[in-house]
Structure 1
Amino acid sequence: MREETTGRLSLIMLSHGLVHVFLISLAAVLPLIRLEFRLSYTQIGIFTFVLSIITAAASIPMGFISDRVNKLKLISSMFFLMAILTSFLVVVRNLALVLLLFGFLWLCLSAFHPTAQAYLSSHYPGRRGQIFGLYEVGASSGMIMAPVIAAWLASIWGWKSVYGIYALPAIFVALGIYKIAGEETFSRQNKELRLRTEFLRGLKRILTHRRLKFIYMAHGLYAIIFATAALYLPIFMVDVHGFSVAQAAYMLTFFLLGGALGRILGGKSSDRWARNRVMGLSFLLLVPFLIMLSLATGGVILIFLSFAAGLTSHMILPVVTAFIGDNAQGEMGLTYGMQSLVGFGFGAISRLIAGVLADLWGIAIIFWMLAGISLLGVVCSFFLLEKNG
């Protein structure tokens, strides 16, 4: 049984990593897409914003669906559809079709997070923090590998080959997850209710739950910090410190490596101590690292600060995800769908706002903004007083 559980968790971690390989690889191939179709920076910004909004908006219905079907089979079907869509990307030449395929691909990706999180939260209720820490390590691994893999493949066969080749691991993961899916039973409060009524009632329970509202707020603040830092940290290193593009990418890698360790530490710590304390301490420790990043000089110091900022910021995510499972009101998939909506939505909007602030007052202002956001996270944690069982 232990080996079966380990194998199941490992496969879900692998699939989470692959999801983020799909997501992060877009950043690596965007310069090539821009050149091929002669897109402006504004058009690129709108394109990526729309993709984030698609994922955010679809997360709620995807989470609702996952409560009513076999969760692992839904994830398996998602990967099969992704393999089909990425295969078409290899042959299309029209910009409209490329954008449409990416839109459908991001729509498929929206199914993963609420479904996988609901599955893990239901199957490992006593170790949510630790399990979600490991689950997030899969994401960090995918984020770290994606730029390198995508750049290497694109340099040999062109950017379209990147997602075309990704179809192969997507098929393997789909088959592996389908094999372990088994059967699930579904509990509904009233089978006579129409889906629309069930959806609205579930949504109302979530939105009126005091603690969940503060947990979602904390997740939104984390999403602002991560999405903005991951996007602008390399640009900051190039524009302010004169790094090459490759050196700036390495600095982002140190940020993500710190994040991988932080996700493990945050998850395990939140199972041992009150989750709100771990969350509040992580937000608080992050503040000086963000401020020092805007002021420091010297490669070694910047490496340390990037790693430390990644570690402390990423400690928050598994805590939030476990916290949501602790407080879910029956509709586990829908509850995690709301988390994805908040995360992708806040992340998308924050990138736009940060860009405007950087144009007005310089790119270093972004780190001061994020430090302020982190302080709000400390305040938010005080509204989540909890003692773990």
Structure 2
Amino acid sequence: MKRVPMLSAGHAAVDFYQGAVPALVPFLVAGRGYGYVAVSGIVLAATLLSSIVQPLFGVLTDRWRMPWLIPLSMVVAGAGVAFGGVTDSYALTWLAVALSGLGVAAYHPEAARLARIASAGSHVRMSWFSLGGTLGFATAPVLVTPLLAWWGLGASPFLAVPAVLGAAVTLPAILATAGGERAATAAGPASGRDDWPSFVRLTLVIVFRSVVYVGLSAFVALYMGGGAAGAVALFVLFAGGAVGTVLGGRLAARWGRTRTMRLAYALSIPAVAGVALAPGPVALVFIAASSLALYAPFSLHVTLGQDLLPSRVGTAGGVTLGLAVSAGGLAGPLVGAVAEATTLRTALACLIVFPVLAWLLARTLKEPALT
């Protein structure tokens, strides 16, 4: 049984809803007349609530094994988006989208814990699990936009289909992995001492990385001129992220996680600088390089965090997959404010400082000595 590919498919299904909520925004504006503040509140309901609650679910999964939470959370995430598109009440729409974010938050800590078990310590396999989430998020606008453009918001219930399919595909892998975990637990508990200082530094690395990537994803299309050129830039950014996720796992298998992280963040510094400074279409090369470098350590963050907190792998997964990643996104409005006060090129140039900070902090991290 290919448990990791099955879990990766489930990861794609649940992260589809993180990308689906922003894709709903233009249709809520056109169909219901919501203003920018109103739709910003809806997006915030999904992203901020998910990032805050996710570590709490991590704490719960550290105390109690809850594999059943994975398919349930996927269905909840899908149901929230499906209902949010058909209700006419802003309050109900907000609550439905918040419910979807709650489902996404509930999924990640427990799923990351089981993926760690299923991958049996392989960085390559864990990178495939992470790749599922990247692809799910990136493909959401491709599926949501044509569906709602053709049928309108009334077709939103069809958006629950990926959640149901994902839960069905993932269920056999969950049962098999949870069964193997019970046998391993009976043989003896996980050993090792939690290294909180290193985990805090790793969390800051992820936040700095998130600031850069969210800033690029939010403004690179406009920077390249919008329209077809902007769409190409976003495709390059997302495609580079998918390739970088798998590449990072393979490099870590050969060189180790911390060495791969340091190399990736060192390379991201000139890559991000090139995005802001290179002329015209040449910037696409640096967009691709930035995405590769920023996503190469993505799955390594999760496994390293779990190894730094061996007695709290759920908490580690909740922070590295949720809170730290979303916290970086809070800097997005600041990047926009700099762009309005100066130029978009200047705002993107300001992002260069964050991969420098990530690289400096990554240099202080060492592979945990597991016993």
Same-fold status (TM-score > 0.5): yes
Provide the C-alpha distance between the structure 1 equivalents of 2:47 and 2:77, rounded to a whole number of angstroms. Answer: 17
Alignment partner of 1:63 is 2:58: yes
CA distances 1:189-208 after superposition (whole Å, capped 9, x unpaired): xxxxxxxxxxxxxxxx96x7
Structure 1, unmatched stretches of 5+, are: 189-204
- Counterpart in the other structure of 1:261: 243
Provide the C-alpha distance between the structure 1 equivalents of 2:171 and 2:316, rounded to a whole number of angstroms. Answer: 24
Provide the C-alpha distance between the structure 2 equivalents of 1:71 and 1:160, rounded to a whole number of angstroms. Answer: 34
Any conservation in 2 of the 1:136–1:260 contact (CA below 8 Å)?
Answer: no
Name the CA shift for 1:261/1:381 in 2 (closer, same or farther; >3 Å).
same
Any conservation in 2 of the 1:143–1:256 contact (CA below 8 Å)?
Answer: no
1:315 offset after TM fit, Å?
0.7
CA distances 1:110-152 after superposition (whole Å, capped 9, x unpaired): 112222112122343421x212211122122223322211111
1:260 offset after TM fit, Å?
0.9
1:297 offset after TM fit, Å?
2.7
- Counterpart in the other structure of 2:189: none
Any conservation in 1 of the 2:10–2:169 contact (CA below 8 Å)?
Answer: no
- Counterpart in the other structure of 1:235: 222
Alignment partner of 1:149 is 2:148: no
Identity of matched residues, %? 19
Provide the C-alpha distance between the structure 1 equivalents of 2:200 and 2:300, rounded to a whole number of angstroms. Answer: 15
1:258 offset after TM fit, Å?
0.9
- Which letter does structure 2 place at the counterpart of 1:346? A
| Larger displacement relative to structure 2 (58-67 or 370-379) | 58-67
Provide the C-alpha distance between the structure 2 equivalents of 1:180 and 1:381, rounded to a whole number of angstroms. Answer: 34
- Counterpart in the other structure of 2:283: 302
Any conservation in 2 of the 1:284–1:378 contact (CA below 8 Å)?
Answer: yes
Q: TM-score, length-normalised on structure 1?
A: 0.85
- Which letter does structure 2 place at the counterpart of 1:273? W
Moved over 4 A (4+): 68-71
Match of 1:11 among 6, 14, 37: 6
In structure 2, the residue corresponding to 1:92 is in which secondary structure? coil
1:51 offset after TM fit, Å?
2.6
- Counterpart in the other structure of 1:198: none
Q: TM-score, length-normalised on structure 2?
A: 0.89
- Which letter does structure 1 place at the counterpart of 2:345? A
Alignment partner of 1:169 is 2:151: no
CA distances 1:36-73 after superposition (whole Å, capped 9, x unpaired): 33333344334323432201111112112223444432
- Which letter does structure 1 place at the counterpart of 2:287? S
Provide the C-alpha distance between the structure 2 equivalents of 1:140 and 1:81, rounded to a whole number of angstroms. Answer: 20
Provide the C-alpha distance between the structure 1 equivalents of 2:275 and 2:173, rounded to a whole number of angstroms. Answer: 45
In structure 2, the residue corresponding to 1:72 is in which secondary structure? coil
The two structures, once aligned, show a CA RMSD in angstroms of: 2.4
- Counterpart in the other structure of 2:301: 320
Any conservation in 1 of the 2:224–2:280 contact (CA below 8 Å)?
Answer: no
Provide the C-alpha distance between the structure 2 equivalents of 1:31 and 1:111, rounded to a whole number of angstroms. Answer: 27
Match of 1:287 among 269, 286, 291: 269
1:106 offset after TM fit, Å?
0.7
- Counterpart in the other structure of 1:338: 319
What count of residue pairs does the alignment treat as equivalent?
A: 359
| Larger displacement relative to structure 2 (261-270 or 288-297) | 288-297
Provide the C-alpha distance between the structure 2 equivalents of 1:45 and 1:259, rounded to a whole number of angstroms. Answer: 26
Any conservation in 2 of the 1:53–1:344 contact (CA below 8 Å)?
Answer: no
Name the CA shift for 1:25/1:341 in 2 (closer, same or farther; >3 Å).
closer
1:303 offset after TM fit, Å?
2.6
In structure 2, the residue corresponding to 1:385 is in which secondary structure? coil
CA distances 1:90-120 after superposition (whole Å, capped 9, x unpaired): 5311121111100111111111222211212
